Amino acid sequence: MAKDWLSNELTTTDSATVQAINDFSEGLLAYETKAGNVIAAADADPGSAMANAYAALAFLFVENPDAGKLARPYLERAEAAASGANRREQMNIAAVRAWADGDVPKAIRIGNEIADAFVHDLPMVKTVQYHEFNLGNAAGMLRVAERVAEANSDLSHMYGLSAFAYEQCHLLGDAETAARRAIELKRKEPWAHHALAHVLITQGRIDEGVDFLEDVSQTWTDLNSFMLTHNWWHLCLNYISKGRFDDVLKAYDRHIWGIDKTYSQDQIGAVSLLLRLELVGVDVGDRWNDVAEHMKGRTADFVQPFLTMQYLYGLARAKAPEADAMMANLRGFVENAPDFVQDTWVNVAVPACEGLLAHARGNHEEVVRKLGSAISRLFEIGGSHAQRDLFEQVLLDSVIRTGRYSTAQQMLEMRRGYEPCSVPNNDKLVEVYQNLGLPREAARAQARVTRVLGEGH
């Protein structure tokens, strides 16, 4: 009987199919484009249960409303071959079916059962983490990783999976240890790079973050568009903190927008970065228009609230009429949203979307009311701490613009606690302290800005 590269048994014996299964499983963990090879292999070997299950899984990761339709023929072939498959393969097929049917809690339950019974099935561990991440359940991400960590202690990918779960649980010391161990085992470990980038920026280690990410960026080859653009996006967050806005625009044009303009994560990465630049006063030119043009088909796309919020903002910021259509569609969608996420859609995503739409249109009082009411529950929409910080920044911008300077002072000084030398935060503190009649504190904030900008010359 054949085995995959992780020593999981396969009922498939065709060498080309086995290789494609390995390409998918390793490509999924390493974020490499070779993961897509399994689709052609499944077409060539319709009797392979695992190749077809993985092909279906590949389409589900596309993150659009058509994903289930694209996955269906492969899933049906996998199910037709399931009687001759082994137990792990049958359980994988059941987990993929649950996801395709929209029953994410069932997909998570089966995935955890697979992790318990087959400790080397890291692709399923990764898939469970993906689901838990999108539901804002960081503990669930860590729980599935800890189930299998000891059995996979020789694999760099395992440490990357653990590192990001630790980071999302705010266990930053454990996250850094795991990420650095992953990189020791394999320097080209982009998910570990990503986890460590989160740790460094969360702890305000901005110079270290720049040096680290610039150094390992040379290893970002053969990556899928999400991992490539997202790690560059993380580097840009550090550039913004340093006031290196020209470097951000260069990275945006070369490494962030244009790799795959059709993909969900590339689109929201572009929206996020353009908005962050505008929040610190940078003119981004006509870049919004191109991003919005590629999101106009998203007006009924409610795969994930975290994605929807950013699609909506990008459309609204480009003054596209599709923004109003999307908002109307959203209000209709939430009435029949799946039970396990309906409360999040109704009481978090909708008011947050209303606030974001208001911000794009300059109605800052509405932003404070709507986004402010949802901000404490935003972890439920998915996304990482660093990604959701965008919405904190939007709220802060409107708090300042509506003259709530005492509130802004509290928000900014809390941010300065973990990022003391941020140029944008200190620039805003100058304005806030001046309006509060505190010139001494304004001068201190200005001195911090001057010092950081001076270090760049």
pLDDT at 454: 85
- CA distance linking residue 73 with residue 204, whole number of Å: 48
Nearest one of 92, 94, 104 to 25, comparing CA atoms:
92
The pLDDT assigned to 445 comes to 96
Residue 442 lies in a domain: yes
213 residue type, one letter: L
| Start-to-end CA span in the chain (Å) | 62
Instruction: Give the pLDDT of residue 456.
Output: 62
Residue 75 lies in a domain: no
Yes or no: say if 135 and 104 are a contact pair by the CB < 8 Å rule: yes
Q: Let me know if residue 54 belongs to a domain.
A: no
Tell whether 190 is covered by a domain: no
Specify the number of domains making up the chain.
1
Other Cβ atoms less than 10 A from the Cβ of 241: the count is: 22
Rounded CA-CA distance 117/121 in Å is 9
Distance between CA atoms of 398 and 333, rounded to whole angstroms?
28
Query: Whole-angstrom Cα distance, residue 206 to residue 446?
Result: 19
What mean pLDDT is predicted for residues 45-70?
96
- Report the alpha-carbon distance of residue 216 to residue 196 in Å, rounded: 11
pLDDT over 90, % of the chain: 97
- What's the chain's average pLDDT? 97
Q: Mean pLDDT throughout 99-115?
A: 98
Q: Does residue 328 surpass a pLDDT of 50? A: yes
Q: Is residue 425 part of a domain?
A: yes
Instruction: Tell me the per-residue pLDDT of 405-439, one tens digit each, with 9 for 90 and over.
Output: 999 999 999 999 888 889 999 999 999 999 999 99
Q: What is the pLDDT of residues 122-173, one digit of tens each?
A: 999 999 999 999 999 999 999 999 999 999 999 999 999 999 999 999 999 9
The pLDDT value given to residue 457: 47
**Are 64 and 303 a contacting pair, CB within 8 Å?**
yes
**Chain segment 349-370, per-residue pLDDT in tens:** 999 999 999 999 999 999 999 9
The Cα 135–Cα 229 span in angstroms is: 23
pTM over the 0.85 mark: yes
Residue 240 lies in a domain: no
Rg (CA), the chain: 23
Is 450 within a domain?
Answer: yes
- For residue 274, pLDDT over 80 is answered with yes
Residue 427 belongs to a domain: yes
Q: Which domain holds residue 413?
A: 403-455
Q: Which residue has the tokens 């790079």?
A: 193
